Each structure stands twice: as C-alpha cells, then as structure tokens.
C-alpha cells in the first residue's frame, strides 16, 4: 500500500500558529478533544511534522483554537 504524501508543508505553519498562541501540543489536543475531535498527541505531532495529513474538520477546529484565519495555515505555500 502506498502512502499519500502531503504536497504542502502546512505542518510548519500549524506549529508556528500553536507557538504564537503559547500552547503546548498537549493543550491543543485537549482543546481538539473538547470540540469532539478525537486525536492523540502522537497523531497531532505527526501533523506538525507532515507525516500525516490534516483533515478539513481538524483544520477548522485549529482555526478556532489558534484564533487564526484559514489563510494563515497556507502562508508562504501558495
């Protein structure tokens, strides 16, 4: 089975927005779980390092958690 590779380095921007919000990975995962998105810390870490694709529902939740505009996740990529 072949894995799908991310075609954009969005993980770096997710990490940058998390740090700007002064949140740890554990805190982000806890906030995601409060919104009904089940995610482990290791899964979240894989998203930040581009070893796993982020789902649209997760991206929308991260917008709310980081108080960010969706375009900020794509800074420097488009």
State pLDDT tens for residues 14-42.
999 999 999 999 999 999 999 999 999 99
Mean pLDDT for the chain overall: 91
Is a pLDDT exceeding 90 seen at residue 62? yes
CATH of the domain at 37: 1.10.260.40
Is residue 60 one of the residues assigned to a domain?
yes
Is residue 1 one of the residues assigned to a domain?
no
Structural domain containing residue 37? 10-74
Is a pLDDT exceeding 80 seen at residue 8? no
Q: Which DSSP string do the residues of 1-70 spell out, in sequence order?
A: -PPPPPSS-HHHHHHHHHHHTT--HHHHHHHHHHTT----HHHHHHHHTTSSPPPHHHHHHHHHHHT--G
Total domains present in the chain: 1
Is a pLDDT exceeding 80 seen at residue 3? no
Is residue 42 one of the residues assigned to a domain?
yes
Is residue 29 one of the residues assigned to a domain?
yes
Percent of the chain residues topping a pLDDT of 70: 90
Is residue 5 one of the residues assigned to a domain?
no
Is residue 4 one of the residues assigned to a domain?
no
């Amino acid at each position: 089975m072949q894995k799908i590779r991310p075609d954009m380095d969005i993980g770096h921007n997710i990490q940058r927005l998390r740090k700007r919000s002064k949140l740890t990975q554990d805190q982000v995962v806890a906030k995601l779980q409060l919104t009904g998105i089940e995610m482990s810390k290791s899964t979240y870490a894989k998203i930040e390092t581009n070893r796993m694709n982020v789902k649209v529902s997760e991206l929308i939740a991260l917008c709310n958690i980081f108080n960010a505009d969706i375009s900020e996740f794509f800074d420097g990529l488009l």
